[in-house]
Structure 1
Amino acid sequence: MIKKILKSYDYALILAVILLCSFGLVMVYSSSMITAVSRYGYEPDHFFQRQKLALIGGSIAFIAMMIFPYRAFLNSKLLKLIVLGSIAILGSLFFIGHVAGNANSWIKIGGLSLQPGEFVKLSVIIYLAAVYDKKQSYINSFTTGVLPPLIFTFIICGFVIIQPDLGTAFIIGMIAICMILCSGMGMKSIAKLIGIFVAAILLISPFILLNSEKFITEKRVDRFVGFSDPFEHASAAGYQLVNSFYAIGSGGLQGVGLGQSVQKYGYLPESHTDFIMAIIAEELGLFGVMFVLVLLTFVVLKGFAIARKCQDPFGTLLAIGISSMIAIQAMINLGGLTGLIPITGVPLPFISYGGSSILLLLISMGLLVNVSMFTNYRETYKKPGSSVASSTTKQVKSIPQQQSSSMR
């Protein structure tokens, strides 16, 4: 039994995650050692050590999620705990939140800083996948099938917007849209959702305008100004983007060498977080960039392939949500540092420094590997006419059936 389970794991996906995290750890050290000393007065390996600890904790969570049956999240008590816990932890930020980057998005526990908004992304994915799994028979019913998931998503996005963390709220909204489009909902229901979404924007807009000093800050305006013409504002609003261009342009094909970046010497702010790919381009050139892009693309496409292969609506939507999250974050990060979109402060998945981000990603990937394992297991050992002995087949079949009935 254990051998069959082990054979069902997707080791190519696991290897891709290990390579991304390992490469990211090396680049966090390379890109942050100067910043750690000159800007914060820390030891050169300060950010490296913190990222390493986050990776150790994330690896434990990754393994746990690989083993934990994903359909357990369909348990109504556990699902309620996830929903209420997400709302509660976002609400607690108004009382115990720590402000960083003009956003009240952090909770400090001793020497640790956690960003609840990161983990709420996965909560939304699990909730939407579970709800749409249970509502398949009446998914186009507006009051019972369409509206409840939308209300929860709006509540979560509302809490995140108030922090204000517009980037995270946008990502959560985009993930929800991807999952809704793949949920099996009819076009009429989707059209109604679009109407509600437009109406919500119109309702929220006056609130944002009335609180413009909180939402339309000088920093956010500068991002649009710098994006529109970075070299015209190279000493102010376009400073980050111009230095990102310099880093990318100077790397060429092979780069200037690992650890040899010039831009990380105070020229490129956030070189170990939002702009770490610019440092990769400078130090390792096109080869380093392609290494990251190929692995990220593989992980995303593998996730969508798992979703397509999975016969379980819950597992399918989980895979779609997790893959969409990684793809959306990567596109936003890369679009910002290359000047295709305004800079948003979204980290590059698996590569950028950030304990909350890497924890979320490894938990999510463990869940995705779990979906893949159960999908492969059922496909291999539950096929009609399988060569497995009948007694063994009955034993194998009983496990998913027992698990499924216990989760309903």
Structure 2
Amino acid sequence: MRKYLAYYVRNFDYPLFFTYVFLCLFGLVMIYSAGMWVAIVNKDQGPDFYYNKQLLNLCVAGVAFIVGAFFPYKHYSNKKLMVALLGIMLVLLFWVWNFGVGAEQSGSQSWIDLGIMNFQPSEFAKLFIILYFAGAFYRKSLKNSMENLGPNNIIYPILVWLLVIFCVANETDLGAVMIISGIAIAVVAASGIQFKKFMKFFAVLGGFGSALIGLILLVKGEEILTQNRVGRIKAFLNPFEYETGSSYQVINGYIAIGSGGLEGVGLGQSIQKLGYLPEPQTDFIMAIIAEELGILGVIIVLGGLGFIVLRALTIALKTKDPLARMIAAGIGSWIAVQTFINLGGLSGLIPLTGVTLPFISYGGTSILLLSFAMGILVNISMYVKLEKRRSKGESL
């Protein structure tokens, strides 16, 4: 046992771990600052209401990180495990259809109420797609090289992806649909498949996905294209024309960002969180960071997230194991795409989707599954270090 622990201590990825911990703790502080007014006025609770709930979420997430870090990533190629996870995910996604809860004004029904917390199955779907695609293509590569992969070899992953997209889109969680699509493309790109075949895969994926989304819009168009969502599109096209309506949140986000300047107005001193930005502790938390801590605070957050993404991609490039490469690339793309969608909506580059900022925003399901993914990434990083030591003939 001591030998086993010594192996982990020696090969552990400390920079990745400490960056993850720093972002979580930084997010915890900002959740307290951003959510205190909402907790007092809207929830009739103490100012530390969201802080305490997120602290509990982080404790559970810490356990998930440890499990991910010490459970060998090789097991994710096990077909029976992936089938079991697919079954669990489909049960959760179908459960949301009938018993899900969400924001009535947006038409979203994405959460399962567990009493002590709300669980969002679409977050589970993001991690599942990474593990399922990586495992499926890895098993294919054991029989045939990825270069010889044909259409028959990728039909089942595509069908599973379409099923997941259909279930998540049926919840009308469009932000999650975008992230899951980006993850699938990134994992396939990291598989080693030939560029021409990748482009064919991408075309098939895009074609089937577009047809599926079109079908969903035809069947549930009125539920998906709610007044709130149409308003977000209008706000994106011309935000200042609807500043008292659908652009209200975006405009106040701009004011928060502009008020911060270089150094910010000071931690806890935000004006926009005092009822101007609805739920500022979630997807608009970066606006509060910009207002209170200025550009320097934004750079700190983006630097931490950028480091994790680059670390994941570096791990993917260094490893010789295709399974490790695909999982690492998938986790890195997940964080990168989700960060882009969050900040893109905040800055007006894309319409708002309600996607949270990884590790920073308030949310139990998000931090739980991101922490588990970070544990897996650390486990892969240890394997890459082990590969390097073996190639040099060093002791493990």
What residue number does 2:296 align with? 287
Which stretches in structure 1 are left out of the alignment for 5+ residues? 389-395, 397-408
* C-alpha contact (below 8 Å) 1:5/1:377 kept by paired residues: no
Match in the other structure for 2:23: 20
Aligned pairs (5 A) from 1:243-282: 243-282=252-291
Structure 1 stretches of 4+ with a deviation exceeding 4 A read none
Are residue 226 (structure 1) and residue 261 (structure 2) matched? no
TM-score, length-scaled by structure 2: 0.94
Matched, 1:190 2:167: no
Summarize the Cα distance change of 1:334–1:126 in structure 2 as closer, same or farther, 3 Å threshold. Answer: same
SS for the counterpart of 2:251 is helix
- Measure, in 1, the Cα distance between the counterparts of 2:119 and 2:92: 11
Identity across aligned pairs (percent)?
A: 42
Structure 2 matches for 1:384-395, cutoff 5 A? 386=393, 388=395
Question: Which of 335, 351, 355 is the equivalent residue of 1:346?
Answer: 355
- RMSD of aligned C-alpha atoms? 1.5
Matched residue count:
387
CA drift of 1:361 comes to 0.7
- Matched with 1:129 is 134
- Partner secondary structure for residue 190 of structure 1: helix
Matched-pair contact (CA < 8 Å) for 1:24–1:351? yes
Q: Render the CA deviation track for 1:129-179: whole Å, top value 9, x for unaligned.
A: 111111122544434322111111110011000111111111101110111
- Which has the larger displacement, 81-90 or 306-315? 81-90
Q: Which stretch has the larger CA shift, 197-206 or 253-262?
A: 197-206
Q: Per-residue displacement from partner, 1:96-146 (whole Å, max 9, x unpaired)? A: 322335222111112211101101111110011111111122544434322
Once the two structures are TM-superposed, the CA of residue 31 in structure 1 deviates from its matched residue by 0.1
Aligned mates of 1:387, 1:148 — CA distance in 2: 42
- Separation in structure 1 between the aligned mates of residue 219 and residue 167 of structure 2, nearest angstrom: 17
2:123 is aligned to 118
Q: Which has the larger radius of gyration?
A: 1
Question: Aligned partners of 2:123 and 2:131: how far apart in 1?
Answer: 14
CA offset digits 1:355-375 (Å, max 9, x no partner): 111101100000000000111
Quick one: structure 1 residues 203 and 62, their matched pair in 2 at CA, closer, same or farther if it must change by over 3 Å?
closer
Cα contact 1:146–1:189 (8 A) shared by 2: no
Corresponding residue for 2:44?
41
Deviation of residue 6 (structure 1)?
1.2
Question: Once the 2 structures are TM-superposed, how far is the Cα of residue 206 of structure 1 from its aligned partner?
Answer: 4.6
Find the aligned partners of 1:191 and 1:307 in 2 and give their Cα distance: 21
Q: Deviations over 1:269-324 (max 9, x none)?
A: 12110100000000001111111011110010001011111111111101000000
Is 2:223 the partner of 1:214?
Answer: yes
Q: Which amino acid aligns with 2:349?
A: L
Structure 1 position 149 matched with structure 2 position 160? no
- 1:23-53 CA-to-partner distances (Å, cap 9, x unmatched) read 0000000000001111222221111111100
Unaligned runs of 5+ in 2: none
1:186: how far off? 1.9
Is the CA contact 1:277–1:289 (under 8 Å) kept in the aligned structure 2? yes
Task: Give 1:372's match in structure 2, choosing from 371, 381, 389.
Answer: 381
Once the two structures are superposed, what CA deviation does each residue of 1:233-261 show, in whole Å capped at 9, x if it has no partner?
Answer: 11011111110010000101110000000
State the distance in 2 between where 1:377 and 1:150 align: 33
AA partner of residue 204 (structure 2) = I
